[in-house]
């Protein structure tokens, strides 16, 4: 019985982390971000890039979104949350 309590104590943070990830994924699927162009909640993430710039420890993350209603494509800095327009070259490369 003592070993069972130790195993449950050790594995409980991993189970909670998995539960939090599941909740976050389901919330983002139900409540997507608004499109800055048409204002509808129809933005869908089509790609996510995570890279380290200049071998620094701070990651540089971009999430590419496409609106299902108007076709607008934008990228969002995952750390700062700001929306940036996507060039045609980036659209071809990352948003297929």
For 7-50, what is each residue's pLDDT tens digit?
888 888 888 888 888 887 777 778 788 888 888 888 888 887 77
Sequence spans of domains, the chain: 1-31, 34-96
CA distances from 33 to 65, 75, 79, 90 (A): 9, 12, 15, 21
Residue entry with tokens 């490369």: 93
pLDDT at residue 78 in the model = 67
Going by the DSSP 8-state scheme, the letter that residue 40 receives in this structure is: -
Q: How many CA atoms lie within 13 A of 37 on its CB side?
A: 14
Joined together, the tokens standing for residue 60 give: 């540089």
How many residues make up the chain in this entry? 96
């Amino acid at each position: 019985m003592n070993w069972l309590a130790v195993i449950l104590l050790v594995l409980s943070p991993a189970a909670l982390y998995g539960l939090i990830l599941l909740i976050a994924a389901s919330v983002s699927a139900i409540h997507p971000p608004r499109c800055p162009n048409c204002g509808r909640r129809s933005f869908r993430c089509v790609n996510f890039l995570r890279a380290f710039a200049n071998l620094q420890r701070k990651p540089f993350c971009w999430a590419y979104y496409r609106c299902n209603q108007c076709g607008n494509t934008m990228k969002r800095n995952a750390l700062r949350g700001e929306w940036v327009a996507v060039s045609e070259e980036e659209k071809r490369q990352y948003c297929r």
